[in-house]
Chains A and B, each alone.
Chain A
């Protein structure tokens, strides 16, 4: 069977709730920065849109949609301290093993085995389902870019959910 048609489903869902059908961004081209370094020498930062946050220390995300905030999770976080605030996917498995959507333990292992040079000191988490495209493009994305540059990040690894 062909992959699930999430574009059509989201359009239908918006219509069913009385909104105009959601118009997805359609890009004909993509920006490109050649990757010409050795991964073993790179500092890699991780981002997940799974709605992961630190219980009791960080505010949960709006589990519905359009939360334009992000959290910084220290790379050495004890994963039992993490929780998920996101109503648009089945969290059952990710709540048992957060690595399904936020593979921080795997990235620590990759750092330990020298597969990547270094894991950046913080990983970024957001909540998906952001339909406020302009605010995302003008506010959140540039702020994340600024922090990545400030932190000397060579590669950005993104895990949408």
Chain B
């Protein structure tokens, strides 16, 4: 994925990527990224939440305009649940098992 962004950017077309796996993005380094800390399968937001989906996409376009340093990742402020991070623990247990 990051590799496709890199190849297209090398070919002269600016790219912006939305990531939900920050560590992978750090290693592969697409030219420009925003990070959304949501469970996999929700990169551009929650189902039927048009407003949230639109915010994430417009934040990504803002990053396209503002990022000047190749490989920059901008962390977006959205939280999956207000005060509960149990999805992250569950994801680590499932994938690790």
Report if A64 contacts B (CB, 8 A): no
Instruction: Report Cα–Cα, A88/B64, bound state, in Å.
Output: 28
**Contact sample, A vs B, 10 pairs, CB 8 Å cutoff:** A5-B23, A35-B65, A39-B61, A49-B1, A88-B40, A94-B47, A103-B44, A149-B12, A155-B64, A160-B17
Shortest CB–CB separation between residue B19 and chain A, in angstroms?
6
Q: Check if A17 is an interface residue, CB within 8 A of chain B.
A: no
Interface residues of B (CB under 8 A from A): 1-24, 27-31, 35, 37, 39-48, 50, 53-54, 57-58, 60-61, 64-65, 68, 70-71, 85, 88-89, 91-92, 95-96
B9 A32 Cβ-Cβ under 8 A:
yes
Residue among B7, B43, B46 having the largest count of chain A Cβ atoms under 10 Å: B43
Contacting residue for A7 out of B18, B24, B48, CB 8 A: B24
Nearest 3 Cβ contacts at the A-B interface: A97-B47, A141-B7, A30-B71
Q: Which chain B residue lies CB-closest to A96?
A: B47
Among B3, B4, B61, residue most surrounded by chain A Cβ atoms (within 10 Å) = B4
When the two chains form their complex, are residues A27 and B17 in contact, meaning their CB atoms are under 8 A apart? Answer: no
Using Cβ atoms and an 8 Å threshold, which residues of chain A touch B68? Answer: 34
Verify if A41 is at the interface (C-beta below 8 Å from B): no
B2→A160 contact, CB < 8 A:
yes
Report B-chain residues with C-beta under 8 Å of the C-beta of A144.
4, 7-8
Q: Which B residues are in CB contact (< 8 Å) with A77?
A: none
Q: State how many angstroms separate the Cβ of B55 from the closest Cβ of chain A.
A: 10
A89 B23 Cβ-Cβ under 8 A: no
